[in-house]
Structure 1
Amino acid sequence: MNKQTEIEKELAQLPILEYEFFKPEDIIFSKEVRDLCEGNSCGLYNTSWACPPAVGSVESCIEKCQAYDKAMLFTTATEMASSFDMKGWMRARVEHEALTDQVAAVFRCYDKDALILSTEGCTVCKKCTYPDAPCRFQDRMYPATESYGIMVMQMAPSLNISYNNGTNTVTYFSMVLFNE
């Protein structure tokens, strides 16, 4: 049995909505996504090891991703009271990050150097050590897919993964890069 088959057996036990394996060369990168980070649209630019500029240039992120043999994109979707349910969004994100921890553990059994990318910067610590000290939890700090300049909105449909799962839902994405 190959590594992917073994991984898929373990992933079947987790509450992943959708996932797809693909080649890192198929990742859609865009400087415009990174420009949103640098424009500080989410407020995390230059405040976290999981966000720019700490993750490196878009070019260095592309190099990191393309150094791996395989990639997998996966999602969770959570129904909320309304599209404006900010507490629901946050609760869903916490649940997604907990699942990302579980997925990371599966992949790291097969490749200890697997790269895990997730959502909107790291939330492990209340106050990030960036830039004054090294990250305290490097094994749980997952850079944001957007911080790497990845166009999840365009990638999802190309992989037959739903980007939007309906009214009053929030869909979160994470990506794993690993070697066979």
Structure 2
Amino acid sequence: MNKQTEIEKDLAQLPILEYVFFKPEEIIFAKEVRDLCEGNGCGMYNTNWACPPAVGSIETCREKCQAYDKAMLFTTATEMASSFDMKGWMDARVEHEALTDQVADVFRRYDKNALILSTEGCTVCKKCAYPDAPCRFPECMYPATEGYGIMVMQMAPALNISYNNGANTVTYFSMVLFNE
């Protein structure tokens, strides 16, 4: 049995909405995504190890991703009271990150060097050690897909994954890169 088959058995036990395996060469990188980070759209730019500039240039991120054999994109979707339910968005993100921890555990059983990318930068520590000291919890810190310059909005439909799961829902994405 191959590694992907074993991983899929383990993933079947988790509340993942959708997932797909693909080749890292299929990842869509876009300067526009990184520009949003640099414009400080989410407020995380230059504040932690999971976001730019700490993650490196888009080219560096591309090289990191393409050094792996395989990738997997997965989602969660959460219904909310309304599309303006900011507390619902944050709660859904916390749940997604907890699931990302579980997915990371699965992959790291098969490849201890798997690269885990997730949402909006790291919030593990109340105050990040960046830039004065190394990350205190590198095994828990997942760089943001957006910080890597990855255009999830275009990738999802190309990989037959729903980007939008309906009115009053929030969909979060994480990506895992691993070697077979």
The normalised TM-score by structure 1 is 0.99
The equivalent of 1:135 in structure 2 is 135
Distance across 2 between alignment mates of 1:89 and 1:51 = 20
- Residue 154 of structure 2 aligns to which amino acid in structure 1? Q
Cα displacement string for residues 25-48 of structure 1 (whole angstroms, at most 9, x for unaligned residues): 000000110011111111111001
DSSP 3-state at the match of 2:164: coil
How do 1:110-149 and structure 2 match up within 5 A?
Answer: 110-149=110-149
How do 1:16-165 and structure 2 match up within 5 A?
Answer: 16-165=16-165
Q: State the 1:123 CA deviation.
A: 1.1
Distance across 1 between alignment mates of 2:5 and 2:44 = 37
Distance across 2 between alignment mates of 1:115 and 1:121 = 14
Q: State the 1:59 CA deviation.
A: 0.4
Cα displacement string for residues 46-92 of structure 1 (whole angstroms, at most 9, x for unaligned residues): 00100000000000000000000000000000000000000000000
Cα displacement string for residues 123-146 of structure 1 (whole angstroms, at most 9, x for unaligned residues): 111111100111011001000000
Distance across 2 between alignment mates of 1:119 and 1:89 = 12
What 5-or-longer segments of structure 1 have no aligned partner?
A: none
Identity in percent: 88
- Residue 90 of structure 1 aligns to which amino acid in structure 2? M
What 5-or-longer segments of structure 2 have no aligned partner?
A: none
Cα displacement string for residues 105-129 of structure 1 (whole angstroms, at most 9, x for unaligned residues): 0000000000000000011111111
The normalised TM-score by structure 2 is 0.99
Structure 1 residue runs of 4 or more that deviate by more than 6 Å after TM superposition: none
Residue 9 in 1 paired to residue 36 in 2? no
The equivalent of 2:173 in structure 1 is 173
Cα displacement string for residues 9-35 of structure 1 (whole angstroms, at most 9, x for unaligned residues): 000000000000000000000011001
DSSP 3-state at the match of 1:148: coil
Q: State the 1:173 CA deviation.
A: 0.1
Distance across 1 between alignment mates of 2:83 and 2:129 = 33
